[in-house]
Amino acid sequence: ALPRDLEGRHVAISAGGTREALDPVRYLGNRSSGRQGYALARVAAQRGARVTLVAAHTADLAPPAGVDLVRVGDARELREAMQVAAETADVVVMAAAVADFRPVARNEHKIKKTDRDPDPVVLTRNPDILAGLVAGRRPGQVIVGFAAETGDAETGVLDHGRAKLARKGCDWLVVNAVGDGQAFEVEDNAGWLLSVDGSETPIPHGSKAHLASVLWDAIAR
């Protein structure tokens, strides 16, 4: 049986990938499946937490038992839902892949095919939700980010992770190598758990539930 060490705690977790509309039928999106965020939510609930799971485009995943599921579409909706959940959350985990940019305008009607060259898609920056949550952090609230990095294990991925942890101001950062069948759209995950106090824990290749257990163990301690 799992420890009930998150009993009495509220945790807010984002999962999946945002989609930024170009028109009523098209969007800019990413390859996140939501499986890591769902595993975090499932394990937290099993360990006794009250869980709010904010899910972007994860329709093919079964909702974990005993979790409050809030469905969102784009980055601005995800930010709104996470800000509401963060008002009472003891722990906030941003596992969602949030689009950094969105089209400046959403066409009201489906963009028509013409013989002319298409207009370029003009993008604008989305808010950094994690940075906003850190800026509005409640006393004692623990904030966790994820970082998907491409590159060589030690040099690229880990160095980027260290820099990102410092830049984002969160307490923990889970760093994954992505690409070549790693992390996105697959069942397994691996990486490092970096702490603001400088500790670096390698997370060996394993299930996303295992990675979730490593993170909840560290936070519960």
Angle at 145 between CA 163 and CA 64, to 5 degrees: 160
Residues of this chain that interact with ligand C5P (CB under 6 A) are 75, 94, 96, 98, 100, 126, 128-130, 145-147, 164
The candidate with the shortest Cα–Cα distance to 212, out of 146, 132, 129, is: 146
CB 220, min distance to ligand C5P, A: 20
For 115, 154, 174, the CA distances from 157, given in Å and listed in that order, are: 44, 6, 11
User: Both tokens of residue 218?
Assistant: 């560290």
CB 42, min distance to ligand C5P, A: 19
Please check if 215 is assigned to a binding site: no
For 132, 149, 152, 186, 217, the CA distances from 180, given in Å and listed in that order, are: 31, 12, 12, 11, 29
| Terminal alpha carbon distance of the chain | 18
The candidate with the shortest Cα–Cα distance to 12, out of 130, 79, 92, is: 92
Strands 68-72, 91-94: pairing kind: unpaired
Please check if 110 is assigned to a binding site: yes
Active site residue 107: no
H or E stretch covering 53: strand 50-56
CB-CB contact of 92 with 144 (8 Å): yes
Query: CB 103: neighbour CB atoms within 10 A?
Result: 18
CB-CB contact of 18 with 95 (8 Å): no
CB 98, min distance to ligand C5P, A: 4
CB 8, min distance to ligand C5P, A: 25
Please check if 164 is assigned to a binding site: yes
Please check if 113 is assigned to a binding site: no
65/135 with CB nearer ligand C5P? 135
User: Which of 30, 126, 176, 189 is flagged as catalytic?
Assistant: 30
CB 146, min distance to ligand C5P, A: 4
Give the C-alpha separation, 213 to 210, whole Å.
Answer: 5
Binding residues: 100, 110, 127-130, 146, 164, 168
Binding residues for CTP: 100, 110, 127-130, 146, 164, 168
Positions annotated as catalytic residues are 30
